[in-house]
Each structure stands twice: as C-alpha cells, then as structure tokens.
C-alpha cells in the first residue's frame, strides 16, 4: 500500500498484568497478552468482557488501574496514541465531508493540509474499490463502502499498529464476508501489527494468526490458540473447523 | 402544494379579518379592515417605506452584532468549562430581563440614536443564538471525539473539523428564532424613544387615531420578520446541504 510506514522499531504490543475498573465493576482483571510485529491477534469473548477496553487501553485513550500497556516499549498514553491507528466499531464518517475528505481526516489531524491529504488519499480509492465515489457524501455510500472509507482513514497515516474494534460488526453477513476477504488481502500486501476485537469466532479464525479468548467479566485470557492454517483460508475446510471448535470450547460453548 | 396550502390559509385569515372588521359592533378605531390597511399601505407608501428602511437597518445590524457576540461567547464557553459554569446562569438571566422596562433605560444611557435599538435587538437575539450553538457544539458523539483524540487531533482541529460543522444546523435554528424576535426588539427600542422607524410610526399612528396606518405598519413588520426567517432558512440550505437528506442508520 502506498502509505508511509514509520521506521521499523520493535512494534510488539503487550499487556502486562493489566487491571481496569469502572467504579464498582472490574472490566479487566490481570490480563497478560502480547502481539508480535506484523502478527494479527484476534481477541474474542462474550459481550461485556472488556474487549473494547483492551483496545482503548492500547490506543492510549485510557490508562490501566494496574499493570502496564506498551507499544514497542513505549508505555505513556501519548506515545501509544501516536503509534496506533484506532478504528472504532462504527464508521463515524463526517456527513458534511465527501469520501475523499473523510479518508483524509486522520492525515489532517497530523497537520497535513487538506489538499495534500486529499491528494494522498486519491490513488487508494481505486484499490479500495471506491473509484468514482471520491466526491460522494457518506449518506450516498453503502455500508460496506463507508467501512472501506473508514479503513482508508485508519490506514493512510501509515501507523504500524492497527487496533480494530469489531470493524465489520455493523455490516450485513454478505458484505461482512467480502470485507473480511478484502482485509485479509490488504494485510497480505501490506502487513501490519493488528489487534482485532470481535465477537465472531469465525471472523477471528479467518483473519488472525492467533486467537486470544477472554473470560466473562472480569475479563482475563483463558486461552491462546495458534491458527496455523495456510492463507487464503477456507472457512469450509476441516482444519478451519477444528480451530474454530477449540475457540468455541474455550468460550464454554 | 406546501405553498398552496399556506396561501389558502392566509386567504382565509384575511377573509375572516375583513368579516370581523365590517361587523357593526367592532369599532373602526380598534380594527382596520384589510381593505383599509391596503389603502393605507398604498397612500402612505413613501412614509412607510422610509421608516421601514430605518427599522430594517436596526434589525439587521442588531442581528449581526448578536451573531458575532453569540458565536464567540458560545465557542468560548464550550472551550473553557469554567466560563460556561460561571456564565450560564447569567446568560439565562439575561433572557428574563423584561426588555420593555429596560428599553427606556437604554435610551437614557445611549441617547435617541440607533445605539439603544441595536443594544435591545442584540440582547434579545443573543440568547437563542448562544444557547442553540452551545447545544450544537456539545452534540458531537463521545465516540467521534475519542476517534479524533486517537488520531492526534488538537483541540482546535476537533473544533474546526468536527464540532463547528456539526453545530451549524443548531446555529441556524437559533438564528431563525433570533430573526423573528429581532423585529420585536427594534419596535421596543423605538417605542422607548426614537425620531423614525416603523415602531415609532405605529406608536404615533396609535396616538393620532390613524388605525389603518398602524395596521399597515404591523403588516410590514410581520413581512420583515418572515422575510428574515426565509433568508436564514435559505442560507441554511446552502450551508448545510448534508442535513437535508435522511441519513441511513
């Protein structure tokens, strides 16, 4: 992908004995988890187990009550914010901007002038299947297209770490399946370190190199499953089914 | 269709007005009929026109002042929490001041010129503009603010790229209210003491028992308010085109 990639540092992510509480509720309780550089780690768990909290901690939007969160050795919230590209569940496109300017937003936040940011976003529209929709407002785009614009916005600043919070959760199942394929291709061409939160076990096994299973609240890691399957993955294959079954068992299903 | 219905209702209203005005039990000094009002509009046109011009200037300048002040104040209160906490009660209180009482004091303070009229129009219009814009600035979803923070946006960047555009429809709602009440403000200002203006002409007409001229003045004041409202609505269509279409969920 024609995005700028920052100097390759030790970009591995780690949570070390991380606990996070909200008033009386303990969301995360002693989470130990790490992601290697260019690895895709999927986190699955029942709803309310603190999956999104995990992402926001890594993104530097929250601080743990106990333990440390680090990105390539950096532990301060501002360093984590600078190293990670965070993508929330909803596309959150700005309705008054066209697709191109929406994609350019993250670059603008880094101080790139709007015209320059738009120029850098433009060549990627074709690769993302968005050509001819550069000047469409979000209201004129389908759900899948909106999500791709949101992906573009996330990828353009070229941050090595992607934090994805149920990126396809709001899409219908057909669009979701094609978007999962599309993301797998995009990551194959341009590897990044990815922490992907999802409640969809099949999505986790399809996209990830490793799947971490969280317990119900207070969340902690109950299993880490290597997904040692060739890519592109066949969701109907026997190997796929076996990994999926292990993940479901870890979830107690 | 929209306009047709509005026209029909307006015609019905004028007819009813004419009907009531021709009743014997209604004093001619209390109610001028639409026909008499129209005659006054025609015969006194140059007098009415000149005075309407004076009032229009007061209204437009007063609106401009309150818009600049209201926008600055709302943005300041939004960016600076202590200012909001401290000034909000005062802001609400300012709206409770009976302008009728205040107007003569303004005239004493600022003399007979345009000053007190602008002050009163601005005082009345300031509140709807400020409160609506403040609500708009605070209407941005927390998730979007979180996203902006994760992208490294500065406070000013978030204000410029997200909060201000998101609050534009709110600002226009405030401006619509302000546009209609601004005319009332100008009339109060002129009643408290003025040499010219439609409000002054209406007051004078009342004292001199020129009832048709009073009604002609009221009609012009109403048209002025409706016209300003329409202008704001038109400006909104151009400024927030995304707001017209229904957003898919």
Q: Do A137 and B240 touch (CB under 8 A)?
A: no
Chain B residues at the A interface, defined by Cβ less than 8 Å, are: 141, 143-144, 146-154, 157, 161-162, 165, 168, 240, 242-243, 245-248
Q: What is the residue extent of each domain of chain A?
A: 13-91+161-250
Contacts of A143 in chain B (CB under 8 A): 248
What is the chain B residue with the closest CA to A84?
B150
Fold of A13-91+161-250: Rossmann fold (3.40.50)
Nearest by CB to B242, from A90, A108, A139: name it. Answer: A139
Q: Do B247 and A82 touch (CB under 8 A)?
A: no
Q: List pLDDT tens digits, range B48-107.
A: 999 999 999 999 999 999 999 999 999 999 999 999 999 999 888 888 888 888 888 888
Contact B21, B34 (CB under 8 A): yes
Q: List pLDDT tens digits, range A143-197.
A: 889 999 999 999 999 899 999 999 988 888 888 898 899 899 888 888 999 999 9
Domains of chain B listed by start with CATH number = 33-240 (1.10.3720.10)
A218: preceding bond cis by omega (within 30 degrees): yes
Contact A48, A219 (CB under 8 A): no
DSSP states of A151-192: HHHHHTT--SEEEEESTTTTS-HHHHHHHHHHHHHHHHHS--
Q: List pLDDT tens digits, range A114-134.
A: 999 999 999 989 888 888 999
Q: What is the ipTM of this complex?
A: 0.88
CB neighbour list of residue A176: distance below 8 Å, 6 or more residues apart: A168, A203
Region A11-30 average pLDDT = 89
Q: Do B245 and A86 touch (CB under 8 A)?
A: no
DSSP states of A22-79: ETTEEEEEEEEEEE-TT-EEEEE--TTSSHHHHHHHHTTSS--SEEEEEETTB-SHHH
């Amino acid at each position: 992908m024609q995005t700028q990639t920052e100097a390759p540092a030790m970009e591995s992510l780690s949570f070390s004995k991380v606990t996070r509480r909200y008033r009386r509720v303990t969301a995360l309780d002693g989470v130990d988890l790490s992601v290697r550089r260019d690895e895709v780690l999927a986190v699955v768990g029942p709803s309310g187990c603190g999956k999104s909290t995990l992402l926001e901690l890594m993104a530097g939007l929250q601080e743990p009550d106990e333990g440390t969160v680090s990105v390539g050795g950096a532990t301060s919230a501002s360093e984590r914010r600078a190293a990670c590209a965070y993508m929330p569940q909803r596309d959150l496109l700005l309705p008054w901007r066209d697709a191109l300017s929406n994609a350019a937003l993250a670059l603008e936040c880094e101080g790139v002038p709007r015209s320059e940011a738009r120029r850098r976003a433009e060549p990627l529209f074709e690769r993302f299947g968005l050509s001819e929709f550069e000047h469409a407002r979000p209201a004129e785009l389908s759900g899948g297209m909106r999500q791709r614009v949101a992906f573009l916005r996330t990828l353009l600043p070229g941050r090595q770490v992607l934090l994805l919070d149920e990126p396809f959760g709001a899409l219908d199942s057909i669009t979701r399946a094609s978007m999962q394929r599309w993301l797998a291709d995009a990551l194959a061409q341009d590897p990044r370190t990815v922490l992907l939160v999802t409640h969809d076990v099949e999505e986790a096994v399809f996209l990830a190199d490793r799947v971490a299973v969280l317990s119900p609240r207070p969340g902690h890691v109950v299993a880490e499953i290597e997904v040692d399957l060739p890519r592109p993955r066949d969701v109907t294959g026997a190997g796929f089914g076996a990994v999926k079954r292990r993940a479901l068992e870890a979830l107690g299903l | 269709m929209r306009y047709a219905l509005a026209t029909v209702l307006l015609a019905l209203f004028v007819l009813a007005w004419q009907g009531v005005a021709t009743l014997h039990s209604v004093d001619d000094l209390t109610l001028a009929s639409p026909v008499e009002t129209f005659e006054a509009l025609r015969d006194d046109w140059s007098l009415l026109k000149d005075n309407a011009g004076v009032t229009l200037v007061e209204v437009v300048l007063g609106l401009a002042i309150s818009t600049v002040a209201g926008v600055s104040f709302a943005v300041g209160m939004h960016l600076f929490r202590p200012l909001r906490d401290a000034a909000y009660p005062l802001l609400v209180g300012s709206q409770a001041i009976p302008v009728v009482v205040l107007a003569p004091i303004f005239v004493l303070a600022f003399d007979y010129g345009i000053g007190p009229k602008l002050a009163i129009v601005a005082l009345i219009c300031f509140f709807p503009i400020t409160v609506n814009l403040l609500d708009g600035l605070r209407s941005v979803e927390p998730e979007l603010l979180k996203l902006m923070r994760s992208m490294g946006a500065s406070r000013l960047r978030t204000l410029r790229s997200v909060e201000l555009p998101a609050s534009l429809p709110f600002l226009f709602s405030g401006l619509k209210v302000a546009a209609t009440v601004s005319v009332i403000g100008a009339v109060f200002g002129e009643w408290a003491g003025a040499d010219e203006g439609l409000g002054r002409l209406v007051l004078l007409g009342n004292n001199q028992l020129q009832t048709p001229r009073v009604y002609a003045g009221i009609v012009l004041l109403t048209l002025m308010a409706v016209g300003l409202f329409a202008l704001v609505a038109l400006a909104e269509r151009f400024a927030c085109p995304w707001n017209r279409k229904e957003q898919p969920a």
